């Protein structure tokens, strides 16, 4: 008989969204357009030409959405601020109405007993800054620090946790290498420069958050554990490159003060020399590391797979989500223990975890059955508990996402929500996964069984 599952007493039970994916009204009340607004409005960039113009209409329905989160029993909520709502030109003039929205959100959360966890940059860069070179311009680190200072001075007395950036790897791989996300560039020469400036912005941002009195400051990365398809040396080497590129590219500089050696090999002549002093800015202890986990990858040597020469090997014995991501909960346990082994003791939060599956249409007044998402949630929370039992210092879990929302270039068809959103009417309907999550929260995990 195993003991029943019980998470630590003060464990945070949260859910996560980002501004452009849920808010809608992207230009309301004096907000400056973001690069994502432009990208989504460029023909051919998103599924069916879908945009974040309306999304979940959260900008106008925020109090109602916070009430839904309270019904779930959440004790924390992770959201991001749209930089361009706060600073329409990205620097300089503050837009009081834009900052006011987040001020009201924070108060609404606190009144519902939900701890606010704010991310400063979740991919929507002010278009005015994109026009000045965006992440390719070294000055962006100072622009970002000034933005952080403005926001933390206003909200820092009430926000429990601050993250500088969300998933810098996705910003650069999708935005600068493959062109599938804003700003849609395709250049291996730009990619490492954008990565480096993201890291510099993180470093200066962390200092700015602390100087302005922010309570806890950290960084959010996506980690996808890499497993070799065989013992063949070339598969092992390909897997190491894939791991360096995705999982160590940002964490090694932050925790260890330098890039993994494999990156120079991957980028070849496109890999620049970086000033040594930059690493004094980048390397700094975090109050917490946010880990976003969705899936793993099994790799084999495949020279044509650009840029790392590592092809993915499909695992037909396992379920895949509608993002085509393999469901493999054990990797969640493994990756948390890997972080501890490689980077030492830093408190962790699971800042995103969740699954997109097809959902049938909703019926008024009825809970929606989503057995695959229920299974994913249950199995990943069990895997998380195993990691904690094995010594991972995880302080909170944020389900992606409370609401179905705008899944970037994949548009609205990929539904990650615990609560269904009918995008034609904005009707919200609880799914069975929401009920399971509420039960888990209420019982500190006991509802997951043994």
Min dist CB 294 to ligand FCB, Å, is: 7
Residue 400 engages ligand FCB in binding (rule: CB under 6 A): yes
Closer to ligand FCB by CB, 181 or 254: give it.
181
CB of 252 to ligand FCB, least distance (A): 20
- Specify the pairing of strand 427-430 against strand 419-422: antiparallel
Of the candidates 50, 167, 190, 243, the residue annotated as catalytic is: 167
Cα 207 from Cα 161, distance rounded (Å): 14
Determine whether 142 is an active site residue.
Answer: no
For ligand FCB, the binding residues in 344-373 under the rule CB under 6 A are 352
- Report, in Å, the least distance between residue 47 CB and ligand FCB: 13
In the region spanning residues 284 to 343, those forming contacts with ligand FCB, defined by CB under 6 A, are 292
- Residue 18 makes contact with ligand FCB by CB under 6 A: yes
Number of residues that bind ligand FCB (CB under 6 A): 12
Contacting ligand FCB within 164-193 (CB under 6 A) = 166-167, 170
CA dihedral 14, 397, 252, 222 (to 10 degrees): -70
Residue 7 near ligand FCB by CB under 6 A = no
Region near ligand FCB per CB under 6 A, out of 131-139, 163-171, 299-307, 420-428: 163-171
Quick one: which segment of 27-35, 162-170, 361-369, 379-387 binds ligand FCB (CB under 6 A)?
162-170
Please, what sign has the CA dihedral across residues 362, 363, 368, 371? negative
Q: Does the annotation count 9 as an active-site position?
A: no
Paired tokens of 337: 């223990």
In the complex with ligand FCB, the residue whose CB is nearer, 20 or 259, is 20
Residue 325: closest CA among 374, 290, 361, 373: 373
CB of 82 or CB of 229, closer to ligand FCB? 82
Q: Are 203 and 281 in contact (CB under 8 A)?
A: yes
Q: Considering only residues 36, 279, 416, 430, which one is a binding residue for ligand FCB as defined by CB under 6 A?
A: 416
CA distance 450 to 443: 13
The Cα-based distances of 231 to 184, 216, 237, 328 in angstroms read 37, 42, 10, 21
Specify the residue, 38 or 138, whose C-beta has the smaller distance to ligand FCB. Answer: 38
Angle at 323 between CA 318 and CA 328, to 5 degrees: 30
How would you classify residue 29: left for phi > 0, otherwise alpha for psi between -120 and 50, otherwise beta?
Answer: left
Nearest CA among 408, 358, 375, 405 for reference residue 65: 405
For residues 181 and 212, which CB has a smaller minimum distance to ligand FCB in the complex?
181
Tally of CB atoms within 10 A around 422: 12
For ligand FCB, the closer CB: 69 or 399:
399
Q: Which of 68, 407, 431, 438 binds ligand FCB (CB under 6 A)?
A: 407
Residues 6+ apart with CB under 8 A from 58: 17, 22, 23, 24, 65, 403
Using a 10 angstrom Cβ sphere, with 0-12 exposed, 13-18 middle and 19 or more buried, the burial of residue 344 is exposed
Angle at CA of residue 242, ends 238 and 245, nearest 5°: 135
Minimum Å gap between C-beta 116 and ligand FCB is 18
CB of 247 to ligand FCB, least distance (A): 14
CB of 53 to ligand FCB, least distance (A): 17
Q: With respect to ligand FCB, which residue has the nearer C-beta, 401 or 429?
A: 401
Please report how close the Cβ of residue 26 comes to ligand FCB at its closest, in angstroms: 16
Question: Could you tell me if 294 and 326 are in contact, meaning their C-beta atoms sit under 8 angstroms apart?
Answer: no
From residue 249 to residue 278, the character string flagging contacts with ligand FCB as x (rule: CB under 6 A) and all else as - is ------------------------------
Binding residues vs ligand FCB (CB under 6 A)? 18, 21, 166-167, 170, 222, 292, 352, 400, 407-408, 416
Active site residues: 167, 352
């Amino acid at each position: 008989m195993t003991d029943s599952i019980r998470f630590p007493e003060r464990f945070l039970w949260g859910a996560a969204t980002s501004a452009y994916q849920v808010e809608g009204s992207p230009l309301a009340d004096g907000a400056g357009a973001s690069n994502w607004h432009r990208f989504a409005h460029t023909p051919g960039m998103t599924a069916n030409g879908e945009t974040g113009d309306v999304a979940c209409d959260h900008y106008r329905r925020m109090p109602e959405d916070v009430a839904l989160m309270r019904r779930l029993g959440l004790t924390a909520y992770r959201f991001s601020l749209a930089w361009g709502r706060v600073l329409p030109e990205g620097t300089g003039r503050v837009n009081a109405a834009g900052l006011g929205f987040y001020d009201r959100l924070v108060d609404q959360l606190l009144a519902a007993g939900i701890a606010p966890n704010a991310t400063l940059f979740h991919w929507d860069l002010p278009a005015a800054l994109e026009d000045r070179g965006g992440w390719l311009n070294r000055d962006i680190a100072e622009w970002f620090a000034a933005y952080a200072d403005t926001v933390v001075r206003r909200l820092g007395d009430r926000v429990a946790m601050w993250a500088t950036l969300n998933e810098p790897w996705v910003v650069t791989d999708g935005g600068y290498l493959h062109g599938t996300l804003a700003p849609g560039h395709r250049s291996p020469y730009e990619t490492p420069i954008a990565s480096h400036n993201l890291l510099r912005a993180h470093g200066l941002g962390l200092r700015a958050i602390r100087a302005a009195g922010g309570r806890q400051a950290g960084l959010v990365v996506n980690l996808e554990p890499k497993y070799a398809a065989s013992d063949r040396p070339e598969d092992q080497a390909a897997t190491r490159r894939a791991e360096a590129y995705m999982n160590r590219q940002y964490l090694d500089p932050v925790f260890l003060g330098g890039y993994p050696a494999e990156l120079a090999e991957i980028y070849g002549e496109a890999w620049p020399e970086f000033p040594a002093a930059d690493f004094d800015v980048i390397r700094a202890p975090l109050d917490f590391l946010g880990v976003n986990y969705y899936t793993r990858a099994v790799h084999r040597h495949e020279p044509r797979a650009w840029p790392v020469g590592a092809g993915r090997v499909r695992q037909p014995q396992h379920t895949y989500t509608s993002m085509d991501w393999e469901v493999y909960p054990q990797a969640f346990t493994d990756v948390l223990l890997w972080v501890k082994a490689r980077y030492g003791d830093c408190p962790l939060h699971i800042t995103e975890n969740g699954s997109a599956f097809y959902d049938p249409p909703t019926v008024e007044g009825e809970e929606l059955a989503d057995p695959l998402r229920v299974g994913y949630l249950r199995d990943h929370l069990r895997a998380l508990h195993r990691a904690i039992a094995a010594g991972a210092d995880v302080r909170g879990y944020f389900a992606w996402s409370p609401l179905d929302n705008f899944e970037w270039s994949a548009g609205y068809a990929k539904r990650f929500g615990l609560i269904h959103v009918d995008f034609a009417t904005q009707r919200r309907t609880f799914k069975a996964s929401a009920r399971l999550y509420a039960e888990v929260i209420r019982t500190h995990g006991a509802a997951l069984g043994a």
